[in-house]
Amino acid sequence: MSVNIHTILVANRGEIARRVFRTAREMGIRCVAVYTDADTDALFVAEADEAIRLDDSYLDGTAIIAAASATGAQAVHPGYGFLSENASFAADVIRAGLIWIGPTPEVISTMGDKLAAKRAATKAGVASLPSSDDPTDAGDVGFPLLVKAAAGGGGKGMRLVETADELVDSVAQARREASSAFGDDTVFLERYVAQSRHIEIQILGDSHGNLVHLGERECSIQRRHQKIIEESPSPVVDSDLRARMGAAALDLASTIGYQSAGTVEFLLDSSDGEYYFLETNTRLQVEHPVTEMVTGIDLVREQIRIAAGEPLGYQQDAVTFTGHAIEARLYAEDPANGYLPAIGTLRAYQPAAAPSVRWDTGVAEGSVVGVEFDPMLAKAIASAPSRPEAAARLALALERFHLGGVVTNRDLLASVLRSPEFCAGSTTTDFLDRVKLPGQFSRTPFEIEHAAVAASMWLQASRRDQTDVLPNVRSGFVLGRIPPQSVTWLTNGDELTVQYRSRRDGHFVLGAAGEGGEVTIHDWHPDRIDVECLGSRRRYRVSQHNEVVYLTAGHGTLTLEAAPRFAVPEGDAPTGGLSAPMPGVILEVRAKPGDDVTAGQTLVVLEAMKMEHHMNAPIDGVIAEVRVAEGDQVDNSELLILFESNTDEMS
């Protein structure tokens, strides 16, 4: 018997909370949010019909259930991450008389223990890689191997171990990350296959015994064992392999009595074409939109319908696949610096009107990106009749996305989608290490010069627009000869001076005597400019914060900072130091005064954004001073360690 659900509490945050809201509202369902202080100004909080503040965190199941009861919510949707695969929380929700939108607690418990899941897969006749929950069994598992969190995913609590010497530290690090991210520090070992593909099968099951699969997603392009590009269908999975992997996923789902949406993940060995069971995710996946786009099935809607007791209403032969879909995960991180998460305020954050792609995001222009949560900002998803067209559409959407204020992986994502290797379908899990794409767009001197002229024109027009004194007088106007004006811009460590002069007819010329040619402003608004100069006409999206101007045309966003007209003397700064790249907590200090260290040696381990980050010595040297201890909370750029070069010459 089905239940009429009228109110859902989403026990999550950010883009997934907004995603659930979107479908729930289309179904006529009221939405309740929970939030912590760090999310007070978040978009999902403002969009909820009602929001309840949590005193502790998104892992406080008792407070979340109390919020559901207090707001009249009938059901709880866990999203992904946090408590989404916590069997105890699911059971508590049900005991409280609420509807749990997900698999049964028993299935979550079985599949949440990834080793128990492997045993279930073996029972269902599905092969899996060698593994063990005992670190002393590493020799039997074989090197290289992965240390993996048993209670979660997303790359957290995962470490690649090449040799036995690395095992103890890797297990300890993985345990800490797993505990911080999932509230469970259980880890296990699994054989690592370098040349492989990550293929996952989306499944749906109802309480009436109906089970279907919705084809595969390939999620092989990863960094830190976390996906950044996902697509459906896979470029290497044909109809026969899809049928076999789909049947294996359904055999496992049937064995455990699966209900709701879930994903059965496989590793496809590129050397022999064999596939191995990895795990079952008993929740919605981050990459679920690509499946929705090729099947036309709204997975959140299906989750809600199944939880309400409704039958699927269709069998496997009714599931069809149309076209191709690709998703790119936009992260606040620096690909050029080991994908280290970045923080700051989004000063520019506007998708382009075309090409049309789906943006799932939890932030907006002005949002502060901190260290409290995962650094994913958005997912961009493109669909098209063919894979090449989907990739090109998504790449252009990323390139035209007006984005600034925080370092991101946007340029890298677009470069991946444009690369010959991706276009050829060579998308194994070692893609980024093998292809080695730049993390930032390269720009010609002409592109930089044109953007600098455009920024100068936009800035002078903006100042005229904002002035209350003689607002109708042109920039630079005097009764005598109009003198030249100039702006010096800083970008990527380079300096570029734009000198221009206003003519009496409203146009501008470059250079003191106009030797650089004419500049025509065809259109100006506070957020854009259409400018013709240097033989080219371009339209830029523009944002400004203090002296920094962000300009986006067709190839990413260029950040230009106006140099101060009067230089301020710099104070003495410490040299030979190791500083914190972001706020966080010191987990380990692996050096003391007087120690000899070598370049690349880990000196400090910092926890931020639920991940551990190793701070390494940039050169060979001797530790002079250690300014932090384990457990210390440090700020961005705070000096952690001072050291001296072995040669008394710092580099």
pLDDT reported for residue 469:
54
Q: Which of 574, 572, 544, 573 is nearest to 560 (CA)?
A: 544
Contacts of residue 185, defined as CB under 8 A and 6 or more positions apart, other chains included, come to: 175, 176, 178, 179
Amino acid occupying residue 332: A
For the record, the structure tokens of 554 come out as 């067709």
Please compute Rg for the chain using Cα positions: 27
Amino acid occupying residue 32: V
CATH code of 330-442, in short, is: 3.30.470.20
pLDDT reported for residue 566:
59
The values of phi and psi at residue 139, to 5°, are: -65, -35
pLDDT reported for residue 154:
62
> In angstroms, what CA-CA distances link 457 with 364, 469, 505, 591?
27, 19, 15, 52
> Right CATH number for 7-101 from 3.40.50.20, 3.40.50.1970, 3.40.50.1360, 3.40.30.10?
3.40.50.20
Would you call the peptide bond into 105 cis, given omega within 30 degrees of 0 as the criterion?
Answer: no
Residues 494 and 467: their CA atoms lie apart, in Å, by: 31
The values of phi and psi at residue 7, to 5°, are: -145, 130
Residues 485 and 85: their CA atoms lie apart, in Å, by: 61
Dihedral (CA of 185, 189, 190, 191) sign:
positive
| Residue 390 near residue 382 (C-beta atoms within 8 A) | yes
| Residue 61 near residue 88 (C-beta atoms within 8 A) | yes
Residues 391 and 24: their CA atoms lie apart, in Å, by: 30
Residues 533 and 455: their CA atoms lie apart, in Å, by: 12
Domains in the chain: boundaries: 7-101, 330-442, 445-562, 577-645
DSSP 261-306: EEEEEEEEETTT--EEEEEEE-S--TTHHHHHHHH---HHHHHHHH
Q: Which of 244, 241, 222, 225 is nearest to 233 (CA)?
A: 241
CA torsion, ordered 161, 164, 168, 170, to nearest 10 deg: -10
What's the topology of domain 445-562? Glycoprotein, Type 4 Pilin (3.30.700)
pLDDT averaged per 10 residues, the chain (length 651): 92 98 98 97 97 96 98 97 95 98 95 83 87 82 85 74 88 84 81 89 97 98 93 97 96 95 94 90 96 98 98 97 98 91 94 95 95 92 98 98 97 98 96 94 94 96 73 52 84 92 86 90 96 96 96 93 70 63 86 88 82 82 89 84 65 37
What's the topology of domain 577-645? OB fold (Dihydrolipoamide Acetyltransferase, E2P) (2.40.50)
Q: Which of 508, 506, 488, 477 is nearest to 549 (CA)?
A: 488
- pTM for this model (two decimals): 0.86
As to burial, measured by CB atoms within 10 angstroms (0-12 exposed, 13-18 middle, 19+ buried), residue 27 is middle
| Residue 94 near residue 100 (C-beta atoms within 8 A) | yes
| Residue 377 near residue 351 (C-beta atoms within 8 A) | no
Q: Which of 296, 319, 323 is nearest to 382 (CA)?
A: 323
